[in-house]
Amino acid sequence: MLMRKLGRTGLRVSALCLGGNTFGWTTDQKASEAVLDAYVEAGGNFIDTADVYARWAPGNKGGESETALGEWMAARGNRRAVLIATKVMGPMGPGPNDTGLSRLHIVHAVEDSLRRLRTDYIDLYQAHWDDRETPLDETLRAFDDLVREGKVRYVGASNYHAWRLARALGESDKRGYARYESIQPKYNIAIRDEYERDLEPLCRELGVGVIPYSSLASGFLSGKYRAGEALPATARAGGVQKTYMNDHGFAVLAAVEKLAAAVGGTPAQVALSWLAHRPGITAPIASATSVAQLKELLGGIELHLDEESRAALDRASAWRQS
């Protein structure tokens, strides 16, 4: 599988980051391990999760995805062969200090993640969301201490606005802290402006790795959502309808499907290829609940669209600059 350098780090990561949000939720342990085995066999080495996955599901407490990954790595003895990215910030208990990016929560949360993952280090530890209530210096100092202690190799951020990411990078540079080496933005061909307007130029100038989530627009870009038809019976359908099922979304989907038919691929593969091969993108995150679905995703990474095809997709998905 194609490998890329993550930001300014020495890590070489696969160009498809396997999302772990379904592990311990819609994918049981056996199915999760089958997907993980197939991913590694195909040359993949980069897996993303979070401590809150999948706290939202009835009966879950959070940490189910990390636990599934930990059991898999322990059974396979392959910890050094994979790079684990996880996140901290979301609520993991009822108390006021069981959430956020305070030093107190970070030092407790990292120990819990290490225990569930059955490892003594995390390759990429990320702030899941911004925390405006905690001083930025407190958060960055806590992350820096984890790097110095060897519990974390590198740190990154997710869901940060460009100005907050720029401020964090400036603070880290001024104080000599480990900096955010990556960002996880919501980014796909159907919604481009949120990332491209401000984050893209910042990340490309400062060498920040970009690991987009919602790469297939929560399944919308697979083509299973149709105007005037019943929504798929999934927990994400309502959000997809609100965000993507509009004139712009369906115009983008039509262009993706037209090109997929021309190149002999699937809409999901075309949408993923467009994203994976954009300048500045390190590795899109995509989840698979079966080996067949994983193979389709891998086909998208391997699919190289010519310049004319990419230009057609760019025109169909363009956002209006003000």
CA distance 282 to 132: 27
Alpha carbons 276 and 303: distance in angstroms, whole number: 10
**Token reading at 233:** 């019976």
State the Cα–Cα distance between residues 51 and 92, nearest whole angstrom: 8
SS3 218: helix
d(CA 169, CA 179): 6
Contact 317, 252 (CB under 8 A): yes
Give catalytic status of residue 187 as yes or no: no
Q: Which of 39, 53, 125, 213 is catalytic?
A: 53
Q: Is 317 exposed, middle or buried (0-12, 13-18, 19+ CB in 10 A)?
A: buried
CB 159, CB 190: distance < 8 Å: no
Active-site positions? 53
